[in-house]
C-alpha cells in the first residue's frame, strides 16, 4: 500500500462501520509482508519483521505478537506510515535495480559485450556492488505493482518519482526487446518461427504466474494518475 493508506482509507471505513472512535475505542497495528517464495532457507520465521501500531502501547503489543513467531527478531517502526513506506521502498529498490541491469544489458548487446561476463567481473568487488541478472522484465505481484503506489503517492503530494516511473517504462519494454532478440536469431531463415516456452512463473521454484500474462501483456498496469484520481 502507499504510505498512509491504513489510516487514510482503512480506519475511516472501520469507524463508519463500527461507530467507534479510532485510538480510543479501537486501535490499529500494521506489519508489511516479508516473504521470499521458493526460498527454502529464508522462511517466514527467519526474516526480520517490521512492526508498528497506532500508539506506542499498541505498537508494543504488535511487536510482542510477532516476537513469538519471528525467530530473526523484529524492527519496531515509529509509525504505521513508516512501516508502510519501508515496504514500498524495499520493492521499489529492486524494481530500479532490475531496470538498470536490463537497460545495461541492451547497451552491452549493442556493442558486442557479454553482459554476464561483466556482471561476474563486477561481482568480484567485495563491497558495494550487488549483482542483478537481466531478464524478460519483472513478474509476480510485488515488484511490478508496489512501485506504482509510490509514483501515485508522489503525484498526490505534488511531486514526481521520475526515476521510478522511468524504471516502469523500461520494464514494460523489456519483453518486446527480448522477443525481437529471439526473432533476430532466425535471421529471416524461418518464415513462421515456433517458440517453445519452458516455465512461465516469475521466478524459479514457484508456481505463481502473476505478472506473466500469456498473451504478452502484464496483468495489471494502471495508467498514470494525478493525486485526485485515486
Q: How far apart are CA 166 and CA 182, in angstroms?
A: 25
Task: State residue 91 phi and psi, 5-degree precision.
Answer: -75, -35
Which H helix or E strand runs over 53? strand 49-53
Secondary-structure percent of the chain, ordered helix, strand, coil, rounded to 5:
45, 5, 45
- Would you give the DSSP letter of residue 6? I
Provide the grid cell at 207: 508456481
Which of the residues are catalytic? 142
Residue 24, number of CB atoms within 10 A of its CB = 7
Q: Which residue has the cell 471505513?
A: 13
Provide the grid cell at 203: 521466478
Amino acid at each position: 500500500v502507499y504510505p498512509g493508506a491504513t489510516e487514510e482509507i482503512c480506519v475511516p471505513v472501520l469507524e463508519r462501520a463500527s461507530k467507534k472512535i479510532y485510538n480510543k475505542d479501537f486501535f490499529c497495528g500494521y506489519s508489511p509482508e516479508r516473504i521470499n517464495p521458493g526460498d527454502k532457507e529464508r522462511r517466514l520465521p527467519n526474516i526480520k519483521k517490521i512492526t508498528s501500531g497506532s500508539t506506542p502501547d499498541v505498537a508494543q503489543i504488535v511487536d510482542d505478537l510477532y516476537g513469538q513467531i519471528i525467530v530473526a527478531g523484529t524492527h519496531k517502526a515509529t509509525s504505521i506510515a513508516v512501516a508502510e513506506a519501508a515496504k514500498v521502498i524495499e520493492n521499489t529498490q529492486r524494481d530500479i535495480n532490475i531496470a538498470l541491469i536490463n537497460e545495461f544489458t541492451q547497451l552491452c548487446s549493442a556493442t558486442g559485450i557479454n553482459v554476464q561476463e561483466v556482471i561476474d567481473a563486477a561481482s568480484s568487488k567485495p563491497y558495494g556492488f550487488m549483482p542483478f541478472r537481466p531478464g524478460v522484465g519483472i513478474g509476480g505481484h510485488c515488484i511490478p505493482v508496489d512501485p506504482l503506489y509510490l509514483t501515485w503517492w508522489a503525484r498526490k503530494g505534488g511531486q514526481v518519482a521520475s526515476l521510478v516511473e522511468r524504471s516502469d517504462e523500461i520494464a514494460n519494454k523489456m519483453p518486446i526487446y527480448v522477443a525481437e532478440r529471439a526473432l533476430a536469431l532466425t535471421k529471416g531463415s524461418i518464415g513462421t518461427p515456433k517458440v517453445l516456452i519452458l516455465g512461465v512463473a516469475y521466478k524459479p521454484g514457484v508456481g505463481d504466474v502473476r505478472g506473466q500474462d500469456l498473451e504478452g501483456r502484464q496483468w495489471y498496469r494502471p495508467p498514470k494518475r494525478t493525486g485526485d484520481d485515486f
